[in-house]
Structure 1
Amino acid sequence: MNWTHSRKLVTGLFVATAISTAAFALPVEAATLRMAWAQDATGLDPHKQTAFSSLRLLELIYEPLVRLDTQLNVVPAIAASWEFAPDAKTLTFKLDPKAKFSNGAQVTPADVKASFERLLDEATAAAARSNFLSIESIDTPDAETVVFHLSTADVPILASMATINAAVLPASEITADTIATKAVGSGPFKLDSWEPNAKEVLSANADWAGGKLAIDGIEVTVLPDETAILASLRAGQTDFALINDPLVATLVPNEPNLQLNRISGLAYNVLQLNPSRTPMDNLKVRQAMSCAIDRQEIVDSALAGEGKVTGPLTAPAFAEDPDTLFCYKQDVAKAKQLMEEAGMSGGFTAKVIAANGEPPVAASEAQVLQAQLAEIGVKLDIQMMELSVYVDTWLKGDFDMAVAQNGGRPDPYPMYNRYFTKDGNLLQVSNFVDDTLDSLMRQGQAETDPAKRVEIFHQFEQHLTEQSPWLWLSTSYTYTAQLKTVTGFEPSPTGTLFGLTKVSIQ
């Protein structure tokens, strides 16, 4: 089968239809969008950042080769087109000749090659490194072409590339080692200034290949209290805001001058166990905890009903009924039996970490889990942390348990490969190696038949929930709110704010 950029696989991962980059109509006077959010970026290096708050900022400044549209199809970004060889082991990109960095320099194949070499360098500690280990070599035969030679058929590599963790950076800035301190991207906006935990100022990038914007920039104010964000919107002091707290979001429709954008997300809420620590290294203890949890009560209590119970696979093309998964219906009697079989009928105490602010429901989730697990003698000591401290602790895997919200992807491989394969670069976070999971992941990576891929990943999900290294809880909604004078924003299941490129202010 010869795949070109006009073919579709499963969720449209191979779709690259022509997309108009005609300039958006400018109003008589372009305006600056006043935006607010509660959590600020924790760093500027797009290859290293894992916090949602960082990625939301950086995706406005940088671009990957391809991106996901609001329907989760892969569409052009820096690359104008792409083509897989018949054996899916060679992937060729043609770059958009109009693509330029914010310093005015052309985006070249050399920049793409340098960016992926940086991603693959273990010293970089790139967040998505494991998703690109199939890359054996990169050729740049001419001024517009980049050829990736792969060690195996790698169906999901396009979805892996459609993220800001795979941003294309200027080779000159990589050489100068300025990526963490100087944001030079080819995205729709330029970062003019950043006062951490206070304010960002962005201006429209006149060289952006996507066309002219209808706003001349964005001023972001960091307001840690989301009720203060809502008050600022009510007063007309903020035009557009990211809302994380479902309780605050439910108040927005009551305001006549405001509009709420609400969409189901791919991100998932999860209680991550650390199977390298006693007694979480005991399968029956982990399974007992899974059986003791009432996931729907967590949704109803901690998320104010704004979410749904989920298994590990959250993308529509792969998701299955959670009731088919191991112990997804609360069974306290079975949980107590498993604890007894594990020799833990007396229970144990463990520390669970959670971040302040993102998600804002983390503390509530931890408290509901604390009450539910107490029924089988598991006593949770909740430790709330500032986001940057939490992220550092999480990345080191330095916890007994962690209440987390992790990003979802339209394909399971880039979503879980880095956690649950032997070469996963975030294996220190999951602390869980399993031959069956590793094998199924590799099968799903190389399989080219869409139906067979779904079957493989359903086996992966069934086995993962039986092993219970993590206890998946729910998906939730992503929210933004805006004055009704702001039009054109397109929300996405990934939670991206890239839809701001289509915004205008009346």
Structure 2
Amino acid sequence: MDSILHSRRRCGIHRHLPARFFAGYRAPGRQIMRTETGTGISGFNCLHSSAHSAFSCPKNNWVLTVDTLTRSAIFMFSGWTLVPCPTAVKFKRIWLMVIMGAGILPVSASTRPHYGGTVRILIQHKIESIDPGVEIEYPADREKLADLVFETLTEIDGQGRLHPRLAASWQADAGQRVWQFQLRAASFHDGSAVTSTIVVANLKAAMPDWKLTPSGKLAVTIETTFPSPHLPELLALSRFAIVKRLPNNVLAGSGPYKLAEWQAGEHALLAANDDYWGGRPFVDAIEVQMGFSLREHLLERNLGRDHAAELSIDQLRALEQSSQTLVVSRPADLLVVAFPRNDQNGRSGKKPVDPKLRAAFAATMNRQVISNVLLQRKSAPATALLPQWLTGYEFIFRSPDADQVRKWRTENPGSASLTLAYDFSDPAARIVAERMAVDAREAGIMLQIFGDPHINTKSARRTFTADAVLLRLPLHALDPAAALAGIADDFDLGQEITAAIQSATRPEELYEAERKALADDYLIPVAHVSEALWINNNVHNWQQLADGSWRLEQLWVDQNK
């Protein structure tokens, strides 16, 4: 196994490397895929296949599937060509005899990745804009599509590791305030080159406090106001995506797919980018239908002509007992109650609720019942903004003490009232809000709940009339510092907390920043919720990461099914 692939240093092409080194490796012109939980690896129907890695090269028409636990491998190819050198020929003959003797050589063409086809995806919400710089109601759905069209300077993979994307390399000064990023040679979808000037314009719009300077055509210097050891991770957030804005509100990115059609809130068509620097995707196009009802699909237990559909928790339960392919992320989305806080000038759209009442309300919530019963064990009780599986320190945050309720009732013998708004389009949010009202009433707090169609944007939350709002926010990254920085931006937590997050060099410092964000009970975590996807059995290499985001560069469909 260690001598199958050769490098340019040895025999002129590929160095001998063991299969275990290949996971996450980017081959020239093609991203090698590692599946965490998927719908099959290179033609195999594998659920929860974290022990496998799959590698494919469509030009040579081969696929290598590696079991990373047993170090065994299965080859499927119709034309493997090794380097014309004595060592390569020797191992070619040996492995051909082994494979033919094992009966592995004859493989149906339907099990091999191939180009072509259109993938049809159904998403729950209506996306009004794909522009990462525009505030919309449902940013999580927008980010899944925008990441296919637009690129950031860096990216964070499914294991939380940092990789270059539009930036080929970077370095910082000793104080980690001044960073220089070297850009790779890439092109926008209109054929023009990605330049430092365009990158600077995008980053300056996203972060006005930074000092940004283009250094030639392919280098950018970023100077932050305080030490930022996590700046490369921060730049992987979708709000730092590089977009070229053309006349007539046309947007061009540099990603593996380009925007061919866009009907706001209704339909999108993404076409494969033949000139993508990372290699052309397998499928020709991705068609997205927004706000689509799954009623008929659920009744028939069949996706029909569609290839993938987002599921709510109640829809997921209806399919779990069937033989459908379902992909569920880790509990990543944050379900949180947010009270309005004064802005930097001391202004707020509503008078703040008494801090003791906020603390008492937080203590009334039965998080175990909410997660295990209402959300059907597709979530985890939350005591912090970031989940335990990501940080390792959420358990330190204890659930609010019930003594807070008794203390508040002693000091306030009469009943108090609160109003709570929730997203009217989210049935899970409604049942959670109803349960909160029941628990609060038992503690003497009259909680009035109502659905609202516009609570998911920061601008709407600054002017909302309710005392509090129940929100579901996506996990912005699989890096704790970047994820917490995303939440700080969602809630405008202020420069002090933002600086503490971005300058943290140890987990203890990140924990302290999160503790300060939660100290005054303006934010009350309720649960971390999973995202679910229903995938057709003719779809292969769909990668849904632990936070629910998608990686579709290696996606392909079997058009014979």
TM-score class, shorter-chain normalisation, is 0.7 to 0.9
Match of 1:7 in 2: none
The structure in which a higher percent of residues are helix is 1
| Identity value in percent | 17
CA distance in 2, matches of 1:474, 1:46: 26
CA distance in 2, matches of 1:233, 1:160: 41
Contact 1:354 1:383 in 2 (8 A): yes
Alignment partner of 2:148: what SS?
Answer: coil
Match of 2:221 in 1: 147
Match of 2:290 in 1: 222
Match of 2:192 in 1: 105
Of 358, 378, 386, the match for 1:313? 386
How far apart are 1:20 and its partner, in Å?
A: 2.6
CA distance in 1, matches of 2:223, 2:117: 45
After TM superposition, the structure 1 = structure 2 runs for residues 5-404 of structure 1, keeping only pairs within 5 Å, are 19-23=26-30, 25=58, 30-49=116-135, 51-97=139-185, 99-121=186-208, 133=209, 135-136=210-211, 138-170=212-244, 173=246, 181-228=249-296, 230=298, 234-243=302-311, 245-256=312-323, 258-275=324-341, 280-310=352-382, 311-314=384-387, 316-322=389-395, 324-328=396-400, 331=402, 334-341=404-411, 343=412, 345-357=413-425, 359-386=426-453, 393-394=460-461, 396=463, 398-404=465-471
Q: Identify which of structures 1 and 2 has the higher relative contact order when contacts are C-alpha pairs closer than 8 Å and 6+ apart.
A: 1
Relative to 1, partners in 2 of residues 1:391 and 1:192: Cα closer, same or farther, differing over 3 Å? farther
Alignment partner of 1:72: what SS?
Answer: coil
Relative to 1, partners in 2 of residues 1:79 and 1:229: Cα closer, same or farther, differing over 3 Å? farther
CA distance in 2, matches of 1:202, 1:395: 34
Relative to 1, partners in 2 of residues 1:444 and 1:416: Cα closer, same or farther, differing over 3 Å? closer
CA deviations 1:60-97 (Å, max 9, x no partner) are: 21111111211122212211222223321222222121
Give RMSD over aligned pairs: 2.9
Contact 2:234 2:485 in 1 (8 A): no
Counterpart residue type for residue 386 of structure 1:
P
CA distance in 2, matches of 1:37, 1:246: 14
Contact 2:158 2:478 in 1 (8 A): no
How far apart are 1:233 and its partner, in Å?
A: 6.7
Contact 2:257 2:272 in 1 (8 A): yes
Q: Which moved more, 1:186-195 or 1:103-112?
A: 186-195
Contact 1:232 1:238 in 2 (8 A): no
How far apart are 1:237 and its partner, in Å?
A: 2.1
Counterpart residue type for residue 268 of structure 1:
L
CA distance in 2, matches of 1:293, 1:469: 15
CA deviations 1:406-451 (Å, max 9, x no partner) are: 232445554455776xxx6843xx7xx7xxxx65653443243xxx
How far apart are 1:36 and its partner, in Å?
A: 0.7
Of 509, 514, 521, the match for 1:461? 514
Q: Which moved more, 1:304-313 or 1:455-464?
A: 455-464
CA distance in 2, matches of 1:145, 1:33: 36
Contact 1:31 1:217 in 2 (8 A): yes
CA deviations 1:131-160 (Å, max 9, x no partner) are: xx3x22x23223322221233210222222
CA distance in 1, matches of 2:166, 2:197: 13
How far apart are 1:292 and its partner, in Å?
A: 1.1
Alignment partner of 1:39: what SS?
Answer: coil
Contact 2:359 2:400 in 1 (8 A): no
4+ residue runs over 6 A deviation: 388-391
Alignment partner of 1:480: what SS?
Answer: strand
Contact 1:233 1:239 in 2 (8 A): no
CA distance in 1, matches of 2:420, 2:320: 35
Match of 1:479 in 2: 532
Alignment partner of 2:431: what SS?
Answer: helix
CA distance in 1, matches of 2:472, 2:450: 16
How far apart are 1:385 and its partner, in Å?
A: 2.5
How far apart are 1:168 and its partner, in Å?
A: 0.7
CA distance in 2, matches of 1:305, 1:69: 26
Match of 2:556 in 1: 504
CA distance in 2, matches of 1:68, 1:387: 31
What is the TM-score normalised by the length of structure 1?
A: 0.80
Match of 2:503 in 1: 446
What is the TM-score normalised by the length of structure 2?
A: 0.72
Match of 1:5 in 2: none
Contact 1:101 1:207 in 2 (8 A): no
Counterpart residue type for residue 199 of structure 2:
V
Contact 2:371 2:377 in 1 (8 A): yes
Alignment partner of 2:529: what SS?
Answer: strand
CA distance in 2, matches of 1:280, 1:413: 29
Relative to 1, partners in 2 of residues 1:155 and 1:398: Cα closer, same or farther, differing over 3 Å? farther
CA deviations 1:156-183 (Å, max 9, x no partner) are: 222221022111122x64xx5x6xx322
Counterpart residue type for residue 437 of structure 2:
Q
CA distance in 1, matches of 2:214, 2:545: 33
CA distance in 1, matches of 2:544, 2:501: 29
Number of residues of Structure 1 aligned to a counterpart in Structure 2 = 446
Match of 1:6 in 2: none
Contact 2:303 2:536 in 1 (8 A): no
CA distance in 2, matches of 1:466, 1:118: 31
Contact 2:419 2:468 in 1 (8 A): yes
